[in-house]
Structure 1
Amino acid sequence: MTASNSDPALAVSADTVVTVEFWIMSTDGEALDDSGGPVSFLHRGLDSLLPRLDDGIEGQAAGFEQVFHLEPEDAFGDYDPELLRVEPRSRFPEPIEIGMQFEGVPDDEDADEADGEDEDGDNALIFSVTDLAEDKVVLDANHPYAGMALRVRIKVLAVRAADPEEIEQGYADEEDDSDDVLDAMIESRRGPGTLH
Protein backbone atom coordinates (compact mmCIF):
# COMPACT_ATOMS: atom_id res chain seq x y z
CA MET A 1 0.00 0.00 0.00
CA THR A 2 1.40 3.41 -0.87
CA ALA A 3 0.61 7.06 -0.29
CA SER A 4 -1.82 6.91 -3.21
CA ASN A 5 -4.15 4.97 -0.89
CA SER A 6 -4.33 7.99 1.39
CA ASP A 7 -7.60 8.84 3.11
CA PRO A 8 -8.04 12.65 2.94
CA ALA A 9 -10.30 12.59 6.01
CA LEU A 10 -7.91 10.50 8.13
CA ALA A 11 -5.90 12.35 10.77
CA VAL A 12 -2.43 11.38 11.99
CA SER A 13 -2.81 9.04 14.95
CA ALA A 14 -1.65 5.67 16.23
CA ASP A 15 -1.67 2.95 13.57
CA THR A 16 -1.47 5.37 10.64
CA VAL A 17 1.22 5.60 7.99
CA VAL A 18 2.15 9.20 7.29
CA THR A 19 3.91 10.52 4.18
CA VAL A 20 5.72 13.82 4.66
CA GLU A 21 8.40 16.04 3.25
CA PHE A 22 10.62 17.99 5.63
CA TRP A 23 13.39 20.55 5.56
CA ILE A 24 15.92 21.05 8.37
CA MET A 25 17.34 24.54 8.93
CA SER A 26 19.50 26.30 11.47
CA THR A 27 17.71 28.88 13.60
CA ASP A 28 19.03 31.62 11.28
CA GLY A 29 17.44 29.92 8.27
CA GLU A 30 20.48 28.19 6.76
CA ALA A 31 19.38 25.04 4.92
CA LEU A 32 21.05 21.99 6.47
CA ASP A 33 19.24 19.00 5.03
CA ASP A 34 15.92 17.74 3.75
CA SER A 35 14.01 14.53 3.23
CA GLY A 36 14.90 14.48 -0.46
CA GLY A 37 11.27 13.98 -1.38
CA PRO A 38 8.38 12.17 0.26
CA VAL A 39 9.13 9.73 3.10
CA SER A 40 6.61 7.45 4.80
CA PHE A 41 6.63 6.06 8.32
CA LEU A 42 4.39 4.44 10.90
CA HIS A 43 3.34 7.23 13.27
CA ARG A 44 5.11 6.64 16.59
CA GLY A 45 6.60 3.43 15.21
CA LEU A 46 10.22 2.35 14.96
CA ASP A 47 10.66 4.45 11.81
CA SER A 48 8.85 7.51 13.11
CA LEU A 49 10.15 11.06 13.34
CA LEU A 50 11.46 12.81 16.42
CA PRO A 51 8.93 12.78 19.31
CA ARG A 52 8.48 16.58 19.20
CA LEU A 53 7.59 16.35 15.49
CA ASP A 54 5.33 13.36 16.12
CA ASP A 55 3.51 15.46 18.73
CA GLY A 56 3.27 18.37 16.29
CA ILE A 57 1.59 16.40 13.52
CA GLU A 58 -0.70 14.35 15.79
CA GLY A 59 -4.33 14.95 14.80
CA GLN A 60 -3.42 16.68 11.54
CA ALA A 61 -4.49 15.61 8.04
CA ALA A 62 -2.92 15.73 4.58
CA GLY A 63 -2.13 19.33 3.63
CA PHE A 64 -0.93 20.35 7.11
CA GLU A 65 2.33 22.33 7.00
CA GLN A 66 4.22 24.02 9.81
CA VAL A 67 7.69 25.05 10.96
CA PHE A 68 8.74 23.65 14.35
CA HIS A 69 11.49 25.09 16.53
CA LEU A 70 13.47 22.33 18.24
CA GLU A 71 15.90 22.92 21.08
CA PRO A 72 18.84 20.45 21.19
CA GLU A 73 17.10 18.24 23.75
CA ASP A 74 14.14 17.89 21.34
CA ALA A 75 16.39 17.38 18.30
CA PHE A 76 19.73 15.56 18.30
CA GLY A 77 20.77 16.08 21.92
CA ASP A 78 23.52 18.10 23.49
CA TYR A 79 27.07 17.83 22.17
CA ASP A 80 28.96 15.23 24.24
CA PRO A 81 32.73 15.89 24.30
CA GLU A 82 33.27 12.31 25.51
CA LEU A 83 32.20 11.09 22.06
CA LEU A 84 35.20 12.88 20.48
CA ARG A 85 38.31 10.72 20.12
CA VAL A 86 41.82 11.17 18.75
CA GLU A 87 43.36 7.92 17.55
CA PRO A 88 46.65 6.91 15.91
CA ARG A 89 46.32 6.96 12.14
CA SER A 90 48.01 3.54 12.01
CA ARG A 91 44.76 1.97 13.29
CA PHE A 92 42.90 2.93 10.12
CA PRO A 93 42.96 1.69 6.55
CA GLU A 94 44.45 3.90 3.88
CA PRO A 95 43.35 5.94 2.14
CA ILE A 96 41.38 7.63 4.90
CA GLU A 97 39.37 10.80 4.30
CA ILE A 98 37.34 13.31 6.28
CA GLY A 99 33.72 12.21 6.31
CA MET A 100 34.44 8.47 6.38
CA GLN A 101 32.52 6.57 9.04
CA PHE A 102 33.47 3.61 11.22
CA GLU A 103 31.42 1.50 13.57
CA GLY A 104 33.64 1.61 16.62
CA VAL A 105 37.38 2.13 16.35
CA PRO A 106 39.55 -0.47 14.55
CA ASP A 107 41.65 -2.67 16.86
CA ASP A 108 40.36 -0.93 20.00
CA GLU A 109 41.00 -3.18 23.01
CA ASP A 110 38.17 -1.51 24.96
CA ALA A 111 35.84 -1.43 21.96
CA ASP A 112 32.70 -2.66 23.72
CA GLU A 113 32.89 -0.08 26.48
CA ALA A 114 34.21 2.78 24.36
CA ASP A 115 31.73 2.25 21.57
CA GLY A 116 28.62 2.03 23.72
CA GLU A 117 27.88 -1.62 22.96
CA ASP A 118 25.86 -3.74 25.31
CA GLU A 119 26.83 -7.35 26.07
CA ASP A 120 25.11 -8.48 22.84
CA GLY A 121 27.19 -6.07 20.73
CA ASP A 122 24.19 -3.87 19.89
CA ASN A 123 24.14 -0.08 19.51
CA ALA A 124 27.80 0.40 18.58
CA LEU A 125 28.55 4.06 18.02
CA ILE A 126 29.24 5.31 14.52
CA PHE A 127 32.31 7.56 14.42
CA SER A 128 32.85 10.10 11.64
CA VAL A 129 36.33 11.27 10.68
CA THR A 130 36.29 15.02 11.29
CA ASP A 131 40.00 15.89 10.97
CA LEU A 132 43.27 14.28 9.87
CA ALA A 133 46.87 14.91 10.81
CA GLU A 134 49.99 13.11 9.64
CA ASP A 135 49.79 10.56 12.46
CA LYS A 136 46.37 11.19 14.08
CA VAL A 137 42.70 10.79 13.19
CA VAL A 138 39.98 12.82 14.93
CA LEU A 139 36.72 10.92 15.31
CA ASP A 140 33.35 12.17 16.50
CA ALA A 141 30.34 9.99 17.37
CA ASN A 142 28.05 12.96 18.01
CA HIS A 143 25.26 13.51 15.51
CA PRO A 144 26.32 16.34 13.13
CA TYR A 145 23.49 18.50 14.52
CA ALA A 146 24.14 17.70 18.20
CA GLY A 147 23.99 20.80 20.37
CA MET A 148 22.10 22.78 17.73
CA ALA A 149 18.66 24.33 17.96
CA LEU A 150 16.91 23.64 14.66
CA ARG A 151 13.89 24.66 12.66
CA VAL A 152 12.10 21.85 10.85
CA ARG A 153 9.47 22.60 8.25
CA ILE A 154 7.23 19.62 7.77
CA LYS A 155 4.44 19.08 5.27
CA VAL A 156 1.99 16.18 5.62
CA LEU A 157 1.31 14.81 2.14
CA ALA A 158 -0.81 11.75 2.94
CA VAL A 159 -2.22 9.69 5.81
CA ARG A 160 -3.49 6.13 5.54
CA ALA A 161 -4.42 3.31 7.88
CA ALA A 162 -1.48 1.03 8.58
CA ASP A 163 -1.65 -2.60 7.52
CA PRO A 164 -1.74 -5.16 10.36
CA GLU A 165 1.73 -6.35 9.31
CA GLU A 166 3.11 -2.82 9.57
CA ILE A 167 1.63 -2.39 13.05
CA GLU A 168 3.10 -5.73 14.15
CA GLN A 169 6.59 -5.02 12.79
CA GLY A 170 6.56 -1.40 13.97
CA TYR A 171 7.41 0.32 10.68
CA ALA A 172 5.85 1.15 7.32
CA ASP A 173 6.39 -0.99 4.24
CA GLU A 174 7.16 1.44 1.44
CA GLU A 175 8.71 0.96 -1.97
CA ASP A 176 11.48 3.54 -1.45
CA ASP A 177 13.84 2.56 1.36
CA SER A 178 16.49 5.18 0.54
CA ASP A 179 15.36 7.73 3.11
CA ASP A 180 18.83 8.84 4.27
CA VAL A 181 17.67 11.78 6.40
CA LEU A 182 14.92 9.75 8.02
CA ASP A 183 17.39 6.91 8.62
CA ALA A 184 19.78 9.40 10.29
CA MET A 185 16.98 10.58 12.56
CA ILE A 186 16.11 7.00 13.43
CA GLU A 187 19.73 6.08 14.14
CA SER A 188 20.24 9.17 16.28
CA ARG A 189 17.50 8.13 18.65
CA ARG A 190 19.12 4.74 19.24
CA GLY A 191 22.27 6.27 20.68
CA PRO A 192 22.73 7.68 24.19
CA GLY A 193 21.60 11.24 24.91
CA THR A 194 19.50 11.57 21.80
CA LEU A 195 16.25 13.30 21.14
CA HIS A 196 14.15 10.16 20.89
Structure 2
Amino acid sequence: MNIDKNSVVTLHYEMYDANNQLIDKTEEPIAYLHGGYDGIFPLVEEALQGKAKGDVVEVTLTPDDAFGEQDPEMIRIEPLDVFPVEVEVGMMFEADDPETGDVIIYRITDVADGKAVVDGNHPLAGMRLRFKATVDDVRAATQEELAHGHVHGEHGHHH
Protein backbone atom coordinates (compact mmCIF):
# COMPACT_ATOMS: atom_id res chain seq x y z
CA MET A 1 0.00 0.00 0.00
CA ASN A 2 1.26 3.47 -0.83
CA ILE A 3 0.96 6.43 1.50
CA ASP A 4 -2.05 8.55 0.66
CA LYS A 5 -4.55 10.77 2.48
CA ASN A 6 -6.16 8.99 5.44
CA SER A 7 -3.51 6.30 5.74
CA VAL A 8 -1.70 5.51 8.96
CA VAL A 9 2.05 5.72 8.48
CA THR A 10 4.45 4.07 10.89
CA LEU A 11 8.06 5.15 10.55
CA HIS A 12 11.48 5.42 12.13
CA TYR A 13 13.28 8.73 11.89
CA GLU A 14 16.62 10.35 12.55
CA MET A 15 17.04 14.10 12.92
CA TYR A 16 20.36 15.86 12.34
CA ASP A 17 21.49 19.43 12.96
CA ALA A 18 23.28 21.66 10.42
CA ASN A 19 26.61 20.07 11.40
CA ASN A 20 25.24 16.60 10.58
CA GLN A 21 25.19 15.64 14.26
CA LEU A 22 22.42 13.21 15.23
CA ILE A 23 20.14 15.02 17.70
CA ASP A 24 17.12 12.70 17.85
CA LYS A 25 16.01 9.31 16.61
CA THR A 26 13.26 6.82 17.25
CA GLU A 27 13.87 3.75 19.36
CA GLU A 28 10.36 2.49 18.61
CA PRO A 29 8.51 3.50 15.44
CA ILE A 30 6.06 6.39 15.57
CA ALA A 31 2.72 6.49 13.77
CA TYR A 32 0.76 9.42 12.40
CA LEU A 33 -2.38 9.97 10.34
CA HIS A 34 -1.35 11.15 6.87
CA GLY A 35 -3.22 13.86 5.03
CA GLY A 36 -3.01 17.22 6.77
CA TYR A 37 -3.83 16.21 10.35
CA ASP A 38 -0.73 17.98 11.76
CA GLY A 39 0.83 14.73 12.97
CA ILE A 40 4.21 15.41 11.34
CA PHE A 41 6.05 18.32 9.71
CA PRO A 42 4.17 19.30 6.50
CA LEU A 43 7.32 19.06 4.31
CA VAL A 44 8.02 15.55 5.62
CA GLU A 45 4.41 14.56 4.99
CA GLU A 46 4.70 15.93 1.45
CA ALA A 47 7.88 13.90 0.84
CA LEU A 48 6.20 10.73 2.17
CA GLN A 49 3.15 11.06 -0.13
CA GLY A 50 3.03 8.02 -2.45
CA LYS A 51 5.84 6.15 -0.67
CA ALA A 52 5.57 2.55 0.52
CA LYS A 53 6.94 0.28 3.24
CA GLY A 54 10.75 0.32 3.16
CA ASP A 55 11.05 3.67 1.35
CA VAL A 56 13.36 6.33 2.78
CA VAL A 57 12.94 10.09 2.52
CA GLU A 58 15.28 12.90 3.57
CA VAL A 59 14.04 16.44 4.00
CA THR A 60 15.93 19.57 5.02
CA LEU A 61 13.79 21.75 7.27
CA THR A 62 14.36 25.45 7.84
CA PRO A 63 13.35 26.82 11.25
CA ASP A 64 10.05 27.98 9.74
CA ASP A 65 9.41 24.41 8.49
CA ALA A 66 10.16 22.87 11.90
CA PHE A 67 10.15 24.52 15.34
CA GLY A 68 10.23 28.19 14.33
CA GLU A 69 12.76 30.91 14.97
CA GLN A 70 14.01 31.78 18.44
CA ASP A 71 11.68 34.35 19.98
CA PRO A 72 13.64 36.66 22.32
CA GLU A 73 10.41 37.52 24.14
CA MET A 74 10.18 33.87 25.26
CA ILE A 75 13.42 34.24 27.26
CA ARG A 76 13.10 35.82 30.66
CA ILE A 77 15.20 36.38 33.76
CA GLU A 78 13.37 35.60 36.98
CA PRO A 79 14.46 35.95 40.62
CA LEU A 80 14.96 32.55 42.27
CA ASP A 81 12.44 33.36 45.00
CA VAL A 82 9.53 33.10 42.51
CA PHE A 83 10.16 29.36 42.12
CA PRO A 84 8.58 26.91 44.57
CA VAL A 85 11.65 24.64 44.47
CA GLU A 86 15.40 25.04 44.11
CA VAL A 87 16.07 25.25 40.37
CA GLU A 88 18.90 23.83 38.32
CA VAL A 89 19.89 24.18 34.67
CA GLY A 90 17.88 21.76 32.58
CA MET A 91 14.76 21.73 34.76
CA MET A 92 11.48 22.27 32.95
CA PHE A 93 8.17 23.61 34.15
CA GLU A 94 4.83 24.71 32.76
CA ALA A 95 3.28 28.15 32.93
CA ASP A 96 0.12 29.63 31.45
CA ASP A 97 0.55 32.31 28.80
CA PRO A 98 -1.50 35.22 30.20
CA GLU A 99 -2.33 36.49 26.69
CA THR A 100 -3.40 33.24 24.99
CA GLY A 101 -4.12 30.91 27.91
CA ASP A 102 -1.87 28.32 26.27
CA VAL A 103 0.51 26.27 28.40
CA ILE A 104 4.17 27.05 27.72
CA ILE A 105 6.98 24.72 28.75
CA TYR A 106 9.96 26.66 30.04
CA ARG A 107 13.50 25.33 30.47
CA ILE A 108 15.99 26.70 32.97
CA THR A 109 19.06 27.56 30.87
CA ASP A 110 21.18 29.39 33.45
CA VAL A 111 21.23 30.10 37.18
CA ALA A 112 23.47 32.82 38.64
CA ASP A 113 23.43 35.70 41.11
CA GLY A 114 20.04 34.78 42.59
CA LYS A 115 18.35 34.68 39.19
CA ALA A 116 17.36 32.05 36.63
CA VAL A 117 17.13 32.36 32.86
CA VAL A 118 13.95 30.66 31.63
CA ASP A 119 13.42 29.91 27.95
CA GLY A 120 10.00 29.09 26.49
CA ASN A 121 11.35 28.44 22.99
CA HIS A 122 11.42 24.86 21.74
CA PRO A 123 14.97 23.51 22.29
CA LEU A 124 15.35 23.10 18.50
CA ALA A 125 13.91 26.52 17.59
CA GLY A 126 16.10 28.47 15.18
CA MET A 127 17.80 25.33 13.88
CA ARG A 128 18.03 24.00 10.34
CA LEU A 129 17.38 20.26 10.51
CA ARG A 130 17.74 17.22 8.29
CA PHE A 131 14.94 14.72 8.83
CA LYS A 132 15.48 11.17 7.53
CA ALA A 133 12.51 8.79 7.73
CA THR A 134 12.13 5.11 6.85
CA VAL A 135 8.60 3.86 6.28
CA ASP A 136 7.97 0.90 8.59
CA ASP A 137 4.33 0.26 7.62
CA VAL A 138 1.31 1.80 5.88
CA ARG A 139 -2.34 0.92 6.47
CA ALA A 140 -5.76 2.46 5.96
CA ALA A 141 -7.01 4.51 8.90
CA THR A 142 -10.04 3.31 10.83
CA GLN A 143 -13.23 5.38 10.89
CA GLU A 144 -12.57 6.15 14.56
CA GLU A 145 -9.06 7.44 13.76
CA LEU A 146 -10.44 9.63 10.99
CA ALA A 147 -13.16 10.99 13.28
CA HIS A 148 -10.59 11.82 15.99
CA GLY A 149 -7.92 13.05 13.56
CA HIS A 150 -5.13 10.89 15.01
CA VAL A 151 -3.85 7.32 15.23
CA HIS A 152 -5.09 4.90 17.90
CA GLY A 153 -3.46 1.71 19.16
CA GLU A 154 0.12 0.54 18.99
CA HIS A 155 2.62 3.41 18.42
CA GLY A 156 -0.27 5.88 18.34
CA HIS A 157 -2.61 7.65 20.73
CA HIS A 158 -4.47 5.74 23.41
CA HIS A 159 -7.69 6.94 25.04
Question: TM-score, length-normalised on structure 2?
Answer: 0.91
Q: Which amino acid aligns with 1:137?
A: A
- Higher fraction of strand: 2
Q: Which amino acid aligns with 1:126?
A: I
1:157 counterpart = 2:143: no
CA displacement, residues 28-62 of structure 1 (integer Å, 9 cap, x when unaligned): 21011112221111113546111111111011111
Residues 29 and 155 in structure 2, CA contact (< 8 A), matched pair in contact too? no
Gaps of 5+ in 1: 1-9, 106-110, 179-196
* Counterpart in the other structure of 1:40: 31
1:112 counterpart = 2:103: no
Instruction: Determine the C-alpha separation between the residues in 1 that align with 2:89 and 2:37.
Output: 31
Instruction: Determine the C-alpha separation between the residues in 2 that align with 1:45 and 1:88.
Output: 42
Q: How does 1:21-170 map to 2 (within 5 A)?
A: 21-44=12-35, 46=37, 48-104=39-95, 112-113=98-99, 117=100, 121=101, 123-170=102-149
Residues 78 and 147 in structure 1, CA contact (< 8 A), matched pair in contact too? yes
* Counterpart in the other structure of 1:7: none
SS at match of 1:112: coil
Deviation of residue 92 (structure 1)? 0.6
Instruction: Determine the C-alpha separation between the residues in 1 that align with 2:41 and 2:132.
Output: 13
- Higher fraction of helix: 1
Q: Which amino acid aligns with 1:52?
A: L
Instruction: Determine the C-alpha separation between the residues in 1 that align with 2:88 and 2:140.
Output: 45
Percent identity over the alignment?
Answer: 37
SS at match of 1:173: coil
Gaps of 5+ in 2: none
Q: Hey, which bits of structure 1, 4+ residues long, moved more than 3 A? A: 44-47
Deviation of residue 14 (structure 1)? 1.2
Q: Which amino acid aligns with 2:123?
A: P
Question: TM-score, length-normalised on structure 1?
Answer: 0.74
1:173 counterpart = 2:157: no
- For these two proteins, the number of residue pairs brought into alignment is 157
RMSD: 1.8
SS at match of 1:125: strand
Residues 31 and 156 in structure 2, CA contact (< 8 A), matched pair in contact too? no
